[in-house]
A and B are shown apart, each in its own frame.
Chain A
Amino acid sequence: MPRTLRVIYSAFRMAMLHWMADPQWVIPNVIAPFVFTFVALTLFKEASGSFGLYAVLGGGMMGMWGNTLYSSGFAIEFEKWQGTLEEVVATPSNLLHVIAGRSISNALFGLVNMVAILLIASLGFRVPLGVANPILFALSIALTLLSVSALGLIFASAFVLTRSAQVFTNGLEFPIYVVSGSMFPIGLLPFWVHPASYTLGPTWGIEAIRMAASQGNVTLAFWLNVGVMLLITFAYVMVAAFLFKKVETKSRRDGTLVQA
C-alpha cells in the first residue's frame, strides 16, 4: 500500500476505534439529524409530490455534514485533551493525511446515518422512497461524501490554531444547512447568498442526489452538478493542503500548539 494511503487508512481506523469506544457522538451525529428529519417529515406530512424525498435526503445530508464538522473540530480538541497533539504533529506523516483519514471515517458514519434515516422514514413514516437510478444515486452520494470530507479538511486546518474549535463547530452547522439548501431549493434564498451556495460542494451534491433519486434517465444537468462538485472538491483539497502547511509551519515556529 502506498505510504499516503497507509497513513489515511491508519487514521481512518483509529477514528473508527475512537468512535466506537466513545459512543456519545451518537447524539450530535445520529440523533440530532434524525430529529430534524422527523420535524421536516412532520411539516411535510400533508404535502404532495416529492417532499418526503426532500426531507429525508436533506436530513441524511445534514447528518453527513454534522459528522464531518464534528470530526474536524473535535479531532484536534480530542488530541489536546488526550495530550497527543504534539506527537501527531511531530510525526513524519503529513498532518493533512491524518486528518483526511478521520474526516472520511466520520463522513462514512454520516452515510450510515443517511441509510438509517432512509429506512426509518420508509418503514416508520411510509414515505415513498423509490430511487429511480440506484447506481447513480450511490455514486452521487459517494462523491458528495468525499466533497463534504474535503470541506471538513479546510475547517480542520483552522481548528488547529484555535481553542474555540468547539464553538466554530457548533456555529457553522446551521449556516451550512441553510446555504447548501439541504432541505429546500436554494432559489428560495436571497440572491446575495447564492455565490456562497455555489462555492459549496454539498450544494451541487444534494442536487445530483435528488436528480438520481427522482429521474430514471438523468439529464446533462446531473453530470454538470457532479462535474462542478468534483472541481470544487479538488479546489478544497488544494486549499486544505496549503493551509495545513502554513498552520503546521506556524505551530512549529511559535511553539504554541497546545496553548492555542
Chain B
Amino acid sequence: MSLSHSLRIFLSSAQFSFRAQFGWLYPPMYLTFKFVTSLAQMAFFVFVGQFLITTGNASTDIVAYVAIGNAMQALSWNTVFSVINITSHDKWDGTLPLVLATPAHRLPLFVGRAMIHVFDGMLSVGISFAYAMIAIWNYTQ
C-alpha cells in the first residue's frame, strides 16, 4: 500500500465522515450546537465564578481560571464522544458490515474518520476560547 493510496483513503474517509453526519443533523443545528452550547457552558462556569467573587470568596482571577479550563475542556466533546460514536453510528445505520467489507486498509480509514472530529473539536476550542477572552476582558475592565 503506497503512501499516496493511504492518504487518499484517509482524506476521503475524513471528508465522508464529516458529510455523513449531516444526514441526521441539520447544518443550522450543527452551528447552533457549536456556538450556543459552547456559550452556555462557558456562561455556567463563569457565573459560578462570579457568584464567588460577588460574595467575597474569590478574586477576579478565578474567572480566567475557569474560563480557560472550560475552553480546553470543549475539546473533549468531539474528540471523545464523536470518535467513540463512529462505529456505534455504523451499527445503528447498518453500514458497519459494508465498512468492514471494503478492501481499503483499516488504519487510514478509521484514523481519517476519527481525525476529522479531532479537527472539529479544535474548532470548538477556538470558539470557546473566544468566549473565554470576552469573559476575562469583561472582568479585568
Contact = CB atoms under 8 A, between A and B. Distances in A.
Interface in B36-91: 36-37, 40-41, 43-45, 47-52, 54-55, 57-58, 62, 66
A168 B26 CA distance: 11
**Main secondary structure on B side of the interface with A:** helix
B48 A183 contact: yes
Contact of B37 (A43, A163, A174, A189): A174
A217 interface: no
A170 B33 contact: yes
Interface stretch (A47-55, A148-156, A208-216, A244-252): A47-55
Of A178, A183, A188, most B-chain CB atoms within 10 Å: A178
Contacts of A243: none
A185 to B, nearest CB: 7
Given A177-B44, A178-B40, A171 B49 contact: no
Contacts of B92: 81
Given A51-B57, A174-B44, A43 B33 contact: no
Contacts of A48: 57
Given A47-B55, A48-B57, A164-B29, A170 B37 contact: yes
A40 B66 CA distance: 11
A40 B45 CA distance: 9
Contacts, number: 70
Interface residues of B, number: 27
A89 B50 CA distance: 47
Nearest to B57: A47
Interface string A186-213: 0011000000000000000000000000
A49 B47 contact: no
**Interface size class of chain A, counting residues whose CB lies under 8 Å from the partner chain:** 20 to 34
Contacts of A178: 40, 43-44, 47
B50 A163 contact: no
A32 to B, nearest CB: 11
Given A43-B48, A183-B48, A185-B51, A167 B33 contact: yes
A40 to B, nearest CB: 6
Nearest to B26: A164
A175 B24 contact: no
Contact of B52 (A43, A163, A168): A43
B98 interface: no
B20 interface: no
B101 interface: no
B55 A188 contact: no
B40 A175 contact: yes
B47 A188 contact: yes
A74 interface: no
14 contacts: A43-B49, A46-B57, A163-B24, A163-B25, A164-B26, A164-B29, A174-B43, A177-B40, A177-B44, A184-B48, A184-B50, A185-B51, A188-B50, A189-B47
Q: What are the nearest 10 A-B pairs in CB distance?
A: A174-B40, A47-B57, A184-B51, A175-B40, A174-B41, A163-B24, A171-B33, A171-B37, A178-B44, A184-B47
Interface of A: 39-40, 43-44, 46-49, 51, 54, 81, 163-164, 167-168, 170-171, 173-175, 177-178, 183-185, 188-189
